[in-house]
Amino acid sequence: MTGGGTGGHLAIIRAVKEALVAGNSEQVADSSEMLIYVGSTKGQDKQWFDHDEDFAYKYFFDTRGVVNQGGLGKIKSLFMMAGATLKSIKLIHKHKAKVVFSVGGFSAAPMAFAAKLTGTPLVIHEQNAALGSLNKLLKPYATYFISSYLEESPIKAYPVKEIFFKNAHLRNAVKTVIFLGGSQGAKAINTLALSIAPQLKQNGIRIIHQAGTNNIEEVQKAYDDLDIEAEVFGFTTKLAVYMNEADFAIARAGASTLWELSATAVPTLYIPYPYAASDHQYHNAQFLVKQNLAWIMRENEIDKEKVLILLDENMSAVSHGLMEIVEKNGSQKIATLLKDLEI
């Protein structure tokens, strides 16, 4: 299993890994079967998996992104990647790897290239509607290319934890709004939340607000100055609980957030991060907007009056539509596909 750098990629690795481990515990697993993670010393890879005992081996190569580097930086990044690819080829032979599962990102490049150079089956999962640079390059060579946005994908279900589906229920009137700017926060969403908070209080609407770890004190003080009660947090392990309590969300459009909200059947206004690679958050949101299952505003187009009008609408049709469109068991389906390739 390879890929990462960011939480969006790594969440897919973890979800599928957990499904593979759960599958092994339900049957007598081949004693030679094991999971190996290959990532980078850069990004969040080590933070997520360095101490994960589900992986028999973990390897972290000194690699970095290529696209965001200058001329000499690109050359150095490519040189680092070439060295890591040679190491990956040796690892495939050493461990007799039967399948490589890649989620993209610069962390995935060495092992993904090694898979093709050694003829090892390569399965790619693309999280976003706009393909990442590496995944776009390797798509024609993949044994399977999985994307919840592509009709030709062998699996359409996104790897969302079962708790989000269990929490799905029909929303009607908006009584609770959740603002989701990610664990790092989103200034535009924070500003919007505080600007409409007095009207939300007047209308009896409860506020749940992921302001970002570094913004908690500032945002909490702003609510206190407005004499408004709000649940303010940064990073949390209770996201499923908070989403379950919400009738409407105003959020970034990272893939994990989008599919978790959809699985929970929460109607959402998406405000995409404007500097995301290939504008992928915008395209993620558009996938739902085109089906009348979400709303979208660019940061420079935020109109609080339109937001307040939207919150007066009945959400039942959109909430019901989300229940119909989101497939369950994405992690298990991908795990089954990977195990079938081992034979």
Q: Identify the CA nearest to 88 among candidates 60, 64, 67.
A: 60
Question: Cα dihedral sign for 295, 299, 303, 304?
Answer: positive
What percent of the chain has pLDDT above 90? Answer: 79
Q: How far is CA 16 from the centre of its chain?
A: 13
User: In this structure, are residues 271 and 300 in contact, taking their beta carbons and an 8 Å threshold?
Assistant: no
Q: Is the pLDDT of residue 68 over 90?
A: no
Mean pLDDT for 278-299 is 97
Q: Which two tokens stand for residue 169?
A: 């229920």
What percent of the chain has pLDDT above 70? Answer: 95
**Comparison of pLDDT for 309 and 134, the residue scoring more:** 309
Angle between helices 316-325 and 255-263 (to 10 degrees): 110
CA dihedral 301, 303, 308, 312 (to 10 degrees): -50
- For the whole model, what pTM was predicted? 0.86
Residue with tokens 């570094």: 214
SS3 258: helix
Q: Which two tokens stand for residue 194?
A: 């505080």
Residue with tokens 């969403």: 189
Q: Is the pLDDT of residue 39 over 70?
A: yes
Question: Cα dihedral sign for 330, 333, 339, 343?
Answer: negative
Residues 41 and 39: their CA atoms lie apart, in Å, by 7
Task: Concatenate the DSSP letters of all residues of 61-119 into one string.
Answer: E----STTS-HHHHHHHHHHHHHHHHHHHHHHHHHT---EEE--SGGGHHHHHHHHHHT
Do 7-160+329-342 and 163-325 show the same overall fold? yes
Tell me how crowded residue 36 is: count the other CB atoms within 10 A of its CB: 18
SS3 314: coil
Mean pLDDT for 132-155 is 94
- Each residue's pLDDT tens digit, 203-247: 999 999 999 999 999 999 999 999 999 999 998 889 999 999 999
**Looking at the domain 163-325, which fold is it?**
Rossmann fold (3.40.50)
Residues 189 and 81: their CA atoms lie apart, in Å, by 37
SS3 296: strand
pLDDT-derived band at 31, boundaries 50, 70, 90: very low
Residue with tokens 């000499």: 72
CATH number assigned to the domain covering 7-160+329-342: 3.40.50.2000
- All structural domains of the chain with their residue ranges: 7-160+329-342, 163-325
Q: Identify the CA nearest to 158 among candidates 342, 277, 333, 23.
A: 333
